[in-house]
Amino acid sequence: MTFRCPDRPGIVYAVSGALLQMQANIIEKSQFSEPISGTFCLRTRFETDEADSTHIKVVLEAELAQFGGTLTVRNEEVKQRVLIMVSKFEHCLIDLLYRHSEGELPVDIPLVVSNHWDCQELVARYGIPYVHLPVTKETKRQQEQRLVELVDEHHVDFVVLARYMQVLSAELCAAISGRAINIHHSFLPGFKGAKPYHQAYDRGVKLIGATAHYVTSDLDEGPIIEQDVQRVTHAQNAEQLVVMGKDVERQVLSRAVKWQAEDRVLLVGNRTVVFQ
């Protein structure tokens, strides 16, 4: 379960009491009082003989109603469903598919969507349906409408943009708000636009990195989930920075997807609380 509400005394006591009613055993508990917004955030894993997660949520909602918060309850055995979007750069997609096949990512992947055919053969090797939705200026609106339909049809919990090189409209960003993760090939805030590694090389940077963040209508300005960096020197050229950067991108995105799938990321305004 996760719970967010305005911070005040008695929240943990109420949660523990509600779980005790169901003879639940707490396995893991993380909490944080976000100082800027005054929001209390909690994530708890517990086990109980009660098999109906809907009933569990009803009991918890009744006990926690006084706090006016947002509650989620999920059976850990029911994996979240992820729609992956990609264009032509396949390194992040390869990493996610491999980790998923090895059981490292606790998700189900019902389909991969792309505006190009380049990754179709790769995805087919994993037995996952590949949906081609080409984008032009004239078809962008229809393509995004179809994407929303696919999210609904396949009961998708969240979307991952694994180097999907299209700017999403404000309408689509609103439709999947808080449910779409993007990997940005730069350590934000940083070099924006085309060829960020080449911009970094031209400026003689000593650190390159990657940022996984929620998608918003403000390009590359969404709440940050995870970041990492790699030290570089004057000896590396732009192409070498690209190779090193791809490795950082893969690791950052996979961690963000895993944490999202495990309900470890709680969105609080323009910030995130990530219980690792």
**Average pLDDT estimate for 36-58:** 93
Helix (H) or strand (E) holding 26: strand 25-34
One of 7, 220, 228, 247 is an active-site residue; which one?
220
Is the model's pTM score more than 0.95? no
The pair of three-digit structure tokens given for residue 11, joined into one six-digit string: 């929240």
pLDDT, residue 204, reads 67
**Average pLDDT estimate for 194-217:** 80
What are the pLDDT digits (tens) for 127-181?
999 999 999 989 999 999 999 999 999 999 999 999 999 999 999 999 999 999 9
**Closest Cα to residue 220, out of 196, 198, 199?**
196
Share of the chain above pLDDT 70, in %: 96
Q: How far apart are CA 31 and CA 177, in angstroms?
A: 24
Average pLDDT of the residues of the chain: 92
pLDDT, residue 81, reads 98
pLDDT at 218 over 60: yes
On the question of a cis peptide bond just before residue 189, with omega within 30 degrees of 0, the verdict is: yes
DSSP string covering 173-234: HHHTTTSEEEEESS-SSS--SS-HHHHHHHTT-SEEEEEEEE--SSTT-SPEEEEEEEE--T
Q: Computed over its alpha carbons, how large is the radius of gyration of the chain? A: 20
pLDDT at 44 over 60: yes
Helices (H), the chain: 11-21, 53-64, 91-101, 120-124, 140-153, 170-175, 196-202, 238-261
pLDDT at 112 over 60: yes
The pair of three-digit structure tokens given for residue 7, joined into one six-digit string: 């911070």
Q: How far apart are CA 266 and CA 39, in angstroms?
A: 11
Task: State yes or no: is 220 an active-site residue.
Answer: yes
Q: How far apart are CA 210 and CA 253, in angstroms?
A: 9
**Average pLDDT estimate for 251-255:** 97
pLDDT at 189 over 60: no
* Cα dihedral 96, 251, 255, 160 sign: negative
> What is the β-pairing status of strands 158-161 and 80-86?
parallel
pLDDT, residue 191, reads 62
What are the pLDDT digits (tens) for 4-35?
999 999 999 999 999 998 999 999 999 999 98
What are the pLDDT digits (tens) for 118-138?
999 999 999 999 999 999 989
pLDDT at 200 over 70: no
